[in-house]
Chains A and B, each alone.
Chain A
């Protein structure tokens, strides 16, 4: 059977669909940022930025950029009415203290039990940089990963054990990918959904790991 992969926007839309009304959410740098464009109408979600913003709004219109008001990726943003600024120790206390409901991150690899590798490929000679990745991974009530399921070489990024350096252990609750949505549990993977035309058995074959049927 043939199937069509979710585009980046369709994937962002799929993630956004699961965000509940009233949620405090941190969207990681890169692809997760797209989720903000697809939040369902009629719900109120408060976005957190690690550099001390709650109630972060969209990018300003051209000419209105203020580089004292930027997101974690250092891009200019806006503040919604009701938004607030606070210092870095408070900002990371919000993460570490379990106050954020959902954090959406990109990943190089995720293990079946929710270990996350997303900060370093461990390449020799590369300059390491971690930023807030490790704090985000373990801090929110739920950490979700958003990524393509396969590498460009066709290898599964969902693995039995991460080969890249770890960001956190057992911290990922869900994987939203271009072809399927999976849940990570201490016992292993469980299916949430697949794109049309992709069977459970085909997905298991691509991942190379057992996936329990959807609950």
Chain B
């Protein structure tokens, strides 16, 4: 957006044009960022326990109203809010996760026991790698995890250099919802502590990735050596107020 010395109308017009065509991934609201999600979509949701769970985006997904969803998360919701609240709406057909049963997963437990939700249980590392494979354009991969167990039943196996492996398929998302810490208008992201967990991997594996951030900074203000998710993987970022992450997944002290 070079400004030349004269103040002619043409120059002014050019700079407005260049403003309009600049990359700006900052969405004005969660609602705007999630608009258009179709029924039947597969939604990758970051987080491990409550750390990194994008609660504001999940609330947005509930408000958006898409049905018949497939949800991919490590867990299947804690307590009554966030992912648990989404499950409670009855709009989730299937959950792909590694650890649904927790001290406070009663909403999932009830739906599962009454046959109202399908579960695809996947060892946690295979879950992460299946998502990574989708983002990296890998058609499938052989993993040693789960070989000889009931979670490998019906899957192709192969001996490679004397060791047994199970063929695992990638998990592609239509939408990824992740919680980050800081972002810029190009969509570059940094995370906070162990809330990073699935975020960087899921961001790569969906047609559209929406991240919440607490801070939005100008281009160049994030040290390029510290960018964890480069903006190419991010469609929208939405700024949300900072709320301390609450405990979840553990028995509450009496």
Chain A contact residues, CB within 8 Å of chain B: 49-53, 65-70, 73-76, 79, 85-89, 91-93, 95-96, 125, 127-135, 138-139, 165-169
In the assembled complex, which residues on chain B have CB atoms less than 8 Å from the CB atom of A73?
Answer: 250
The verdict on B155 contacting chain A, using a C-beta distance below 8 Å, is: no
Q: Size band of the B side of the interface?
A: 35 or more
User: At the interface with chain A, which of B12-20, B55-63, B82-90, B126-134?
Assistant: B126-134
Residues of A within 8 A of B143 (CB): 96
Closest 5 CB pairs of A and B: A92-B125, A135-B125, A74-B249, A74-B49, A88-B128
A-B pair number, CB within 8 angstroms: 152
Complex-state Cα separation, A140 to B145, whole angstroms: 12
Asked if B196 contacts A87 (CB within 8 A), the reply is yes
Closest to A122 in B: B150
A75 to B194, CA, bound (A): 12
Query: Could you say which residues of chain A place their CB within 8 Å of the CB of B150?
Result: 165-166
Whether the pair A132, B50 counts as a contact (CB closer than 8 A) is no
Bound: A177/B112 CA distance, A: 36
**Contact assessment for A132 and B124 in the assembled complex, using a CB-CB cutoff below 8 Å:** yes
A53 touching B194, Cβ below 8 Å: yes
| Given A129-B99, A134-B149, A168-B148, residue A66 in contact with residue B248 (CB < 8 A) | no
Q: B144 near A88 (CB under 8 angstroms)? A: no
Please, could you name 22 A-B residue pairs with CB atoms under 8 Å apart, sorted by A? A49-B194, A51-B194, A66-B245, A67-B49, A68-B52, A68-B194, A68-B245, A74-B102, A76-B247, A79-B193, A89-B132, A96-B144, A125-B113, A127-B112, A128-B119, A128-B121, A129-B102, A129-B121, A130-B151, A131-B124, A134-B151, A168-B147
Cβ contact within 8 Å between A69 and B194: yes
**Contacts A67-B245, A130-B123, A134-B149 hold; do A87 and B201 have CB atoms under 8 A apart?**
yes
